[in-house]
A and B are shown apart, each in its own frame.
Chain A
Amino acid sequence: MSIRFQRIFIIIVSIILISIAITLILYNSRNNIIFFYTPSELIDVDLNIGEKVRIGGIVKENSINKKKNIIKFIVTDNKNEINVNFEGILPDLFREKQGVVTEGKLINKFTIKADKVFAKHDENYIPKSIKKQLKNNDFWQKDY
Protein backbone atom coordinates (compact mmCIF):
# COMPACT_ATOMS: atom_id res chain seq x y z
CA MET A 1 0.00 0.00 0.00
CA SER A 2 2.07 2.88 -1.24
CA ILE A 3 1.09 6.43 -0.43
CA ARG A 4 -0.03 6.92 -4.01
CA PHE A 5 -2.36 3.93 -3.81
CA GLN A 6 -3.85 5.22 -0.54
CA ARG A 7 -4.39 8.61 -2.14
CA ILE A 8 -6.19 7.12 -5.15
CA PHE A 9 -8.35 5.03 -2.82
CA ILE A 10 -9.31 8.07 -0.76
CA ILE A 11 -9.97 10.15 -3.90
CA ILE A 12 -12.39 7.55 -5.25
CA VAL A 13 -14.17 7.22 -1.90
CA SER A 14 -14.48 10.97 -1.47
CA ILE A 15 -15.82 11.51 -4.99
CA ILE A 16 -18.50 8.89 -4.32
CA LEU A 17 -19.30 10.49 -0.97
CA ILE A 18 -19.52 13.99 -2.46
CA SER A 19 -21.90 12.87 -5.19
CA ILE A 20 -24.12 11.06 -2.67
CA ALA A 21 -24.03 14.11 -0.41
CA ILE A 22 -24.96 16.56 -3.15
CA THR A 23 -27.86 14.44 -4.34
CA LEU A 24 -29.08 14.02 -0.75
CA ILE A 25 -28.88 17.74 -0.03
CA LEU A 26 -30.41 18.93 -3.30
CA TYR A 27 -33.13 16.29 -3.34
CA ASN A 28 -34.25 17.04 0.18
CA SER A 29 -33.74 20.77 0.42
CA ARG A 30 -36.10 21.74 -2.36
CA ASN A 31 -39.23 22.16 -0.29
CA ASN A 32 -37.98 21.97 3.22
CA ILE A 33 -35.81 24.96 3.96
CA ILE A 34 -38.52 27.49 4.12
CA PHE A 35 -38.75 31.02 5.28
CA PHE A 36 -42.54 30.90 5.02
CA TYR A 37 -45.46 28.61 4.22
CA THR A 38 -48.00 29.41 1.54
CA PRO A 39 -51.63 29.21 2.75
CA SER A 40 -52.18 25.82 1.04
CA GLU A 41 -49.04 24.40 2.65
CA LEU A 42 -50.13 25.75 6.03
CA ILE A 43 -53.45 23.96 5.73
CA ASP A 44 -51.69 20.74 4.71
CA VAL A 45 -49.21 20.61 7.58
CA ASP A 46 -50.43 19.92 11.08
CA LEU A 47 -49.35 22.70 13.38
CA ASN A 48 -50.43 23.17 16.96
CA ILE A 49 -52.52 26.21 17.80
CA GLY A 50 -50.36 28.87 19.39
CA GLU A 51 -47.29 27.86 17.40
CA LYS A 52 -45.19 30.49 15.65
CA VAL A 53 -45.45 30.46 11.85
CA ARG A 54 -44.62 32.60 8.86
CA ILE A 55 -46.97 32.61 5.91
CA GLY A 56 -46.53 34.23 2.52
CA GLY A 57 -49.01 35.06 -0.19
CA ILE A 58 -50.96 37.85 -1.84
CA VAL A 59 -53.29 40.25 -0.02
CA LYS A 60 -56.79 39.55 -1.29
CA GLU A 61 -58.68 42.33 -3.04
CA ASN A 62 -61.10 44.33 -0.87
CA SER A 63 -60.15 42.40 2.24
CA ILE A 64 -58.24 45.05 4.17
CA ASN A 65 -60.26 46.16 7.17
CA LYS A 66 -58.90 48.83 9.49
CA LYS A 67 -60.42 49.44 12.92
CA LYS A 68 -58.39 51.89 15.01
CA ASN A 69 -55.05 50.14 15.34
CA ILE A 70 -56.12 46.63 14.45
CA ILE A 71 -55.81 45.73 10.79
CA LYS A 72 -57.45 42.62 9.39
CA PHE A 73 -56.75 41.22 5.95
CA ILE A 74 -56.81 37.96 4.03
CA VAL A 75 -53.72 36.32 2.55
CA THR A 76 -54.37 34.08 -0.42
CA ASP A 77 -52.48 32.01 -2.97
CA ASN A 78 -55.51 31.80 -5.30
CA LYS A 79 -56.48 28.43 -3.80
CA ASN A 80 -56.74 28.80 -0.05
CA GLU A 81 -57.07 31.76 2.28
CA ILE A 82 -55.75 32.65 5.71
CA ASN A 83 -57.07 35.51 7.88
CA VAL A 84 -54.49 37.76 9.46
CA ASN A 85 -54.96 40.14 12.41
CA PHE A 86 -52.22 42.69 12.87
CA GLU A 87 -51.55 45.56 15.21
CA GLY A 88 -48.74 47.92 14.31
CA ILE A 89 -47.12 49.84 11.48
CA LEU A 90 -47.41 48.46 7.95
CA PRO A 91 -44.60 48.79 5.37
CA ASP A 92 -45.07 51.26 2.51
CA LEU A 93 -45.50 48.58 -0.09
CA PHE A 94 -48.44 46.97 1.69
CA ARG A 95 -51.56 47.17 -0.48
CA GLU A 96 -54.13 44.97 -2.15
CA LYS A 97 -52.86 42.34 -4.59
CA GLN A 98 -49.38 42.66 -3.13
CA GLY A 99 -47.13 39.85 -1.91
CA VAL A 100 -46.64 39.79 1.86
CA VAL A 101 -44.97 37.60 4.45
CA THR A 102 -46.44 37.69 7.95
CA GLU A 103 -45.00 36.28 11.12
CA GLY A 104 -47.14 35.43 14.11
CA LYS A 105 -49.02 32.94 16.20
CA LEU A 106 -51.73 30.58 14.99
CA ILE A 107 -55.03 31.39 16.69
CA ASN A 108 -57.03 28.71 14.89
CA LYS A 109 -56.46 26.74 11.73
CA PHE A 110 -57.30 29.63 9.41
CA THR A 111 -56.33 32.68 11.46
CA ILE A 112 -53.02 34.22 12.45
CA LYS A 113 -52.31 36.96 14.95
CA ALA A 114 -49.33 38.59 13.31
CA ASP A 115 -46.47 40.34 15.10
CA LYS A 116 -44.73 41.44 11.95
CA VAL A 117 -45.77 42.05 8.35
CA PHE A 118 -43.15 42.15 5.60
CA ALA A 119 -44.02 43.21 2.08
CA LYS A 120 -42.52 40.98 -0.57
CA HIS A 121 -41.86 42.58 -3.91
CA ASP A 122 -41.37 40.62 -7.09
CA GLU A 123 -38.44 40.65 -9.49
CA ASN A 124 -40.28 42.70 -12.13
CA TYR A 125 -39.17 46.30 -12.44
CA ILE A 126 -41.46 48.34 -14.65
CA PRO A 127 -41.73 52.14 -15.00
CA LYS A 128 -44.95 53.72 -13.79
CA SER A 129 -46.02 55.12 -17.16
CA ILE A 130 -45.62 51.83 -19.01
CA LYS A 131 -47.46 50.02 -16.25
CA LYS A 132 -50.50 52.28 -16.83
CA GLN A 133 -50.54 51.52 -20.54
CA LEU A 134 -50.26 47.82 -19.92
CA LYS A 135 -53.12 47.95 -17.48
CA ASN A 136 -55.35 49.80 -19.95
CA ASN A 137 -54.77 47.16 -22.58
CA ASP A 138 -55.51 44.33 -20.14
CA PHE A 139 -52.13 42.97 -21.11
CA TRP A 140 -50.80 42.96 -17.60
CA GLN A 141 -51.09 39.80 -15.58
CA LYS A 142 -49.61 39.35 -12.18
CA ASP A 143 -47.94 36.01 -11.79
CA TYR A 144 -47.20 34.62 -8.38
Chain B
Amino acid sequence: MSPRLHAFAIARVAASSVRAALVIAGGGPGAGVLALAFMAVVGPTVASAQNLEATTGAEAPGCAGVPLAASPGTESPLVDPAKDLRAAIAAGSGDRDWGEWLAGECLACHGLHAKAEASIPPLATLDPMAFASALEEYRRHLRPDPGMRLLASRLAPDEVAALAAYFASLPGEDAADAVPADNR
Protein backbone atom coordinates (compact mmCIF):
# COMPACT_ATOMS: atom_id res chain seq x y z
CA MET B 1 0.00 0.00 0.00
CA SER B 2 1.40 3.40 -0.92
CA PRO B 3 1.90 5.91 1.88
CA ARG B 4 -0.92 8.01 0.50
CA LEU B 5 -3.39 5.18 0.34
CA HIS B 6 -2.30 4.07 3.76
CA ALA B 7 -2.98 7.52 5.16
CA PHE B 8 -6.31 7.53 3.40
CA ALA B 9 -7.24 4.20 4.92
CA ILE B 10 -6.34 5.46 8.38
CA ALA B 11 -8.48 8.53 7.81
CA ARG B 12 -11.45 6.40 6.86
CA VAL B 13 -11.12 4.40 10.02
CA ALA B 14 -10.85 7.65 11.96
CA ALA B 15 -13.92 9.03 10.25
CA SER B 16 -16.01 6.01 11.16
CA SER B 17 -14.80 6.04 14.74
CA VAL B 18 -15.74 9.68 15.26
CA ARG B 19 -19.42 8.85 15.23
CA ALA B 20 -18.96 6.41 18.06
CA ALA B 21 -16.82 8.94 19.87
CA LEU B 22 -19.59 11.50 19.60
CA VAL B 23 -21.97 9.31 21.51
CA ILE B 24 -19.67 8.97 24.45
CA ALA B 25 -17.99 12.36 24.28
CA GLY B 26 -17.78 14.09 27.63
CA GLY B 27 -19.48 17.23 28.82
CA GLY B 28 -21.79 18.16 31.63
CA PRO B 29 -25.00 16.17 31.92
CA GLY B 30 -27.02 19.32 31.38
CA ALA B 31 -25.25 20.00 28.12
CA GLY B 32 -26.32 16.68 26.72
CA VAL B 33 -29.96 17.30 27.56
CA LEU B 34 -29.69 20.78 26.10
CA ALA B 35 -28.21 19.40 22.92
CA LEU B 36 -31.04 16.92 22.56
CA ALA B 37 -33.57 19.67 23.08
CA PHE B 38 -31.93 21.73 20.36
CA MET B 39 -31.91 18.78 18.02
CA ALA B 40 -35.64 18.31 18.57
CA VAL B 41 -36.37 21.94 17.77
CA VAL B 42 -33.96 22.52 14.97
CA GLY B 43 -33.83 19.13 13.32
CA PRO B 44 -30.94 18.10 11.14
CA THR B 45 -28.72 20.91 9.97
CA VAL B 46 -27.03 19.24 7.11
CA ALA B 47 -28.18 17.43 4.03
CA SER B 48 -26.80 16.08 0.82
CA ALA B 49 -25.27 19.02 -1.01
CA GLN B 50 -26.77 17.88 -4.27
CA ASN B 51 -30.25 17.88 -2.79
CA LEU B 52 -29.67 21.38 -1.50
CA GLU B 53 -29.29 22.86 -4.93
CA ALA B 54 -32.17 20.79 -6.21
CA THR B 55 -34.53 22.07 -3.58
CA THR B 56 -33.15 25.49 -2.53
CA GLY B 57 -35.30 27.10 -0.01
CA ALA B 58 -38.05 26.00 2.24
CA GLU B 59 -37.50 22.28 1.92
CA ALA B 60 -33.81 22.45 2.66
CA PRO B 61 -32.80 22.10 6.28
CA GLY B 62 -30.87 24.80 7.99
CA CYS B 63 -30.58 26.79 11.16
CA ALA B 64 -32.79 29.77 10.50
CA GLY B 65 -33.59 31.66 13.61
CA VAL B 66 -31.97 29.19 15.97
CA PRO B 67 -32.71 30.52 19.43
CA LEU B 68 -29.54 30.93 21.39
CA ALA B 69 -31.34 30.38 24.66
CA ALA B 70 -28.10 29.81 26.47
CA SER B 71 -25.85 31.98 24.37
CA PRO B 72 -22.48 30.26 24.49
CA GLY B 73 -20.28 32.56 26.46
CA THR B 74 -16.83 33.43 25.37
CA GLU B 75 -15.35 33.03 28.84
CA SER B 76 -17.03 29.89 30.12
CA PRO B 77 -17.69 27.24 27.52
CA LEU B 78 -20.89 25.24 27.88
CA VAL B 79 -19.11 22.09 26.94
CA ASP B 80 -15.67 20.80 27.68
CA PRO B 81 -13.87 18.58 25.22
CA ALA B 82 -13.78 14.89 26.09
CA LYS B 83 -11.32 13.98 28.81
CA ASP B 84 -8.83 12.23 26.53
CA LEU B 85 -8.89 15.16 24.14
CA ARG B 86 -8.37 17.63 26.98
CA ALA B 87 -5.40 15.61 28.13
CA ALA B 88 -3.94 15.48 24.62
CA ILE B 89 -4.34 19.23 24.21
CA ALA B 90 -2.87 19.96 27.62
CA ALA B 91 0.08 17.71 26.85
CA GLY B 92 0.46 19.13 23.35
CA SER B 93 0.67 15.59 22.06
CA GLY B 94 -1.32 16.17 18.88
CA ASP B 95 0.31 15.63 15.49
CA ARG B 96 1.30 19.20 14.63
CA ASP B 97 2.07 18.55 10.96
CA TRP B 98 -1.25 16.85 10.46
CA GLY B 99 -2.82 19.81 12.21
CA GLU B 100 -1.11 22.19 9.82
CA TRP B 101 -2.57 20.24 6.91
CA LEU B 102 -6.04 20.20 8.45
CA ALA B 103 -5.80 23.92 9.18
CA GLY B 104 -5.74 24.56 5.45
CA GLU B 105 -9.46 23.99 5.53
CA CYS B 106 -9.87 26.60 8.30
CA LEU B 107 -7.72 29.20 6.57
CA ALA B 108 -10.14 29.65 3.71
CA CYS B 109 -12.33 31.65 6.11
CA HIS B 110 -10.23 32.35 9.19
CA GLY B 111 -7.18 34.44 8.57
CA LEU B 112 -4.08 33.57 10.53
CA HIS B 113 -3.69 37.05 11.90
CA ALA B 114 -5.93 39.44 13.73
CA LYS B 115 -8.19 41.94 12.07
CA ALA B 116 -10.01 43.95 14.67
CA GLU B 117 -13.29 44.13 12.79
CA ALA B 118 -13.37 40.56 11.48
CA SER B 119 -16.49 38.59 12.36
CA ILE B 120 -14.55 35.34 11.92
CA PRO B 121 -11.80 34.93 14.52
CA PRO B 122 -8.24 34.64 13.23
CA LEU B 123 -6.51 31.35 13.96
CA ALA B 124 -3.37 32.75 15.54
CA THR B 125 -5.47 34.11 18.40
CA LEU B 126 -7.22 30.83 19.24
CA ASP B 127 -6.48 29.27 22.58
CA PRO B 128 -6.25 25.52 21.84
CA MET B 129 -8.55 24.41 24.67
CA ALA B 130 -11.13 27.09 23.95
CA PHE B 131 -10.95 26.10 20.30
CA ALA B 132 -11.69 22.47 21.17
CA SER B 133 -14.60 23.52 23.38
CA ALA B 134 -16.04 25.66 20.62
CA LEU B 135 -15.81 22.78 18.17
CA GLU B 136 -17.60 20.51 20.62
CA GLU B 137 -20.34 23.12 20.96
CA TYR B 138 -20.74 23.31 17.20
CA ARG B 139 -20.87 19.54 17.03
CA ARG B 140 -23.66 19.48 19.61
CA HIS B 141 -25.49 22.27 17.79
CA LEU B 142 -25.09 24.63 20.73
CA ARG B 143 -23.70 27.21 18.32
CA PRO B 144 -25.73 28.00 15.23
CA ASP B 145 -23.33 28.50 12.35
CA PRO B 146 -24.09 25.67 9.90
CA GLY B 147 -20.69 25.76 8.21
CA MET B 148 -18.83 25.29 11.48
CA ARG B 149 -21.30 22.60 12.57
CA LEU B 150 -20.51 20.71 9.39
CA LEU B 151 -16.76 21.08 9.76
CA ALA B 152 -16.86 20.15 13.43
CA SER B 153 -18.89 17.04 12.67
CA ARG B 154 -16.14 15.88 10.31
CA LEU B 155 -13.26 16.18 12.79
CA ALA B 156 -12.26 13.16 14.87
CA PRO B 157 -10.76 13.78 18.33
CA ASP B 158 -7.22 13.08 17.12
CA GLU B 159 -7.74 15.61 14.36
CA VAL B 160 -8.88 18.21 16.87
CA ALA B 161 -5.80 17.43 18.96
CA ALA B 162 -3.64 17.82 15.85
CA LEU B 163 -5.20 21.19 15.06
CA ALA B 164 -4.75 22.29 18.66
CA ALA B 165 -1.07 21.34 18.50
CA TYR B 166 -0.69 23.38 15.34
CA PHE B 167 -2.46 26.42 16.75
CA ALA B 168 -0.34 26.19 19.88
CA SER B 169 2.77 26.31 17.70
CA LEU B 170 1.75 29.54 15.97
CA PRO B 171 3.67 32.63 17.02
CA GLY B 172 0.50 34.56 17.81
CA GLU B 173 1.16 38.03 19.13
CA ASP B 174 -1.50 38.08 21.86
CA ALA B 175 -2.57 34.54 21.29
CA ALA B 176 -1.96 33.07 24.68
CA ASP B 177 -5.15 33.89 26.53
CA ALA B 178 -7.55 34.76 23.76
CA VAL B 179 -10.66 32.68 23.19
CA PRO B 180 -12.92 32.53 20.17
CA ALA B 181 -15.03 35.63 20.45
CA ASP B 182 -17.38 34.56 17.75
CA ASN B 183 -20.34 32.61 19.05
CA ARG B 184 -22.07 32.11 15.78
Are the chains A and B members of one assembly?
Answer: no
A residues lining the B interface (CB < 8 Å): none
